Structure 1
């Protein structure tokens, strides 16, 4: 069973807008992610926290590519290779999960 997608917009203490994404990103919900990125990045660069994403398909990648010039990503070790192989890492900054001890 797929883990539902949850999108939570917030702000870091330094004022950086953050969109925390949890669950699985696929063609059934990529439009929701696109809408959230469009809204959240309207005022400037956005940090997208994908550290709690367990699955990312091509529809989700397409959305991230569309917004690559306005986002930075935090990714977990599970999806980092997908972001790198796809070439997204050449278009935007991808940071490791700061809560991951490895």
Structure 2
């Protein structure tokens, strides 16, 4: 993985959680996308992407998340984003419309609760 970002994948029952720690930009967005895709299976109902520790997200990162949401919808799966309102990326997630297109929650626990509610 790029020195700008670290990807941590955890499994919470039927739901993979991918935490992105660091920065997402054009130099590592493709690599991050591959790491996220590797965490998915055809049995996953939802994917939680935790942006709590993401310090920077440029347009390549936003596009990555929009594309991920579209791919998951095509597979009849859901994307849930964890975005702390006080985080550095909260503003870009709101301004870009990503927060309207995809479900966002303030905590990982809330996102997992929403994932379970979709069962």
TM-score, normalised on structure 1?
Answer: 0.82
Cα RMSD for the two superposed structures: 1.9
- Please list every run of 5 or more consecutive structure 1 residues that lacks an aligned counterpart in the other structure: none
Runs of 4+ in 1 over 6 A off after TM superposition: none
| Structure (1/2) with the larger helix percentage | 2
- In 2, are the aligned partners of 1:68 and 1:88 still within 8 Å (CA)? no
CA distance in 2, matches of 1:82, 1:35: 22
SS in 1 for 2:51: strand
CA distance in 2, matches of 1:98, 1:65: 19
Match of 1:65 in 2: 66
- Please list every run of 5 or more consecutive structure 2 residues that lacks an aligned counterpart in the other structure: 73-78, 110-119
Matched, 1:82 2:92: yes
Match of 1:51 in 2: 52
Q: What is the CA-CA distance between 1:41 and the residue it aligns to?
A: 3.0
TM-score, normalised on structure 2?
Answer: 0.71
Match of 1:10 in 2: 10
